[in-house]
Chains A and B, each alone.
Chain A
Amino acid sequence: MGRFLVVASLAAFLPAASAQPDSRSVFGERTPLLAAGADAIRAGRYDDGIRLTIEGLETEPVTTRLKAAALANLCAAHAAKGEPDVAIGFCDESVELDPRNWRAYSNRSFAYWQKGMYAEATADIDAAASLAPSAPQVRQMRGLINEKTLRPRVTMENRQ
């Protein structure tokens, strides 16, 4: 039951946070497999998305920036599947290719969060926030980190 809830909440969180928002505008018509892969990931069909994205990377002409975006999507899909170590590897590659892709930082932050590595998750979400300060996904991710790292305390005082 607990595991189901975790998976459900990840699935609800990640599609919005991870894959490029408009696959056609990002990947274009010359990379239909990458576009279809992004759409599949956003729809929660992670295995399909991973397969299509890998095929796209192997067969379609991509710029460095597009490759970084595709790797960030693979990172997102694996994180959503609960495979943070695999996800982090793809995000590392993506960030190395395009240090301006805030989604790669955001996705890697989520993967670190899954592993309980909250300092690393915070560093990555800070990096994402510096590139996309108003992105709702950044706020969501920061909320998840706060939930795990901040200890609430309520002090009461009687007045009479």
Chain B
Amino acid sequence: MSPHAARDRGRWCAAAAIAGLAAAASAGAAHEADVDPVGVWSCLLYGESGDQRFYLALADDGGARIARPAESKDGEWQPLGAWRRTRDRIELDDGLNGRLFVASAAGADLGGTWLGIGDRGGWWCAATAYAVDDEPPAVAGLLPVLMPAVMASPRYPLSAIREAKEGRTVSCFIVTGAGEIERPAIVETTDDLFRGPTLDAVAASSYRSWGDDDATLPACRSFTFELAAGG
């Protein structure tokens, strides 16, 4: 198989697999207004290989550019690939890393899941006031470390215990400068049983104040629901 064919096949698999995840992410937000993806976003990417913050510029001509901390420091955007809107979602090709990003088209925030060859994860972005033609925002906006103030633990659903179900969820949300959590959403879930407890726990959580009132940062929290024998 040629490298191109292998890459195409990997991307097809990625798209097929990610469709399921995106459906889970968008199901709860079907009633929300569609997001306008054009603009500059402050983003968080998570995956097995680690977490990364970056700025993302989506132009109305379908072009996408990225500024990671190093590029942001230099005031330079790096071409990333192309984005497009389908009926209910937004897709972004990451030509730099061979990844496909998928987001629900609903809601105020931009994010969902991504899939590369041999790796996968999620991403979440907060809108910024910057324009696509501007230089990348200051690197300082990518550097704050969010310190949890309250980390509420979700209740384990009784029905899941009875059915001996384990699972995993990831919720992403926006953290204001005051440390409050806004608009939590489910990005990944292995079972809808865990959706409600996850969102309840996130909504009851907060971070320490880290910036001014207008500042926002995307953040995510993963939850692993496990059952051990021996009652």
**Interface pair B161/A146, CB less than 8 Å apart:** yes
Q: Mark A123-160, 1 if CB is under 8 A from B, else 0.
A: 00000000000000000001110111111111111111
A157 to B146, CA, bound (A): 13
- Note all chain A residues with C-beta closer than 8 A to B145: 160
Check: B77 CB closer than 8 A to any chain A CB.
no
Write out the residue numbers on chain A whose beta carbons fall within 8 Å of the beta carbon of B226.
152-155
- Partner pick for A159 among B51, B161, B163, CB 8 A cutoff: B51
Partner of B146, one of A153, A154, A158: A158
B228 proximal to A (CB < 8 A):
yes
Interface band, chain A: 10 to 19
Q: Give bound CA distance, A150 to B221, whole Å.
A: 25
* Residues of chain A lying within 8 A (CB to CB) of residue B151: 156
Min CB gap A56→B, angstroms: 35
A156 contacts B221, C-beta separation under 8 Å: yes
Chain B residues whose C-beta falls within 8 Å of the C-beta of A142 in the assembled complex: 162, 164
Binding site for A on B (CB under 8 A): 44, 46, 51, 53, 122, 145-146, 148, 151, 153-154, 156, 158, 160-164, 170, 201, 217, 219-231
6 residue pairs from A and B, CB less than 8 Å apart: A146-B163, A147-B162, A149-B231, A151-B227, A154-B223, A156-B153
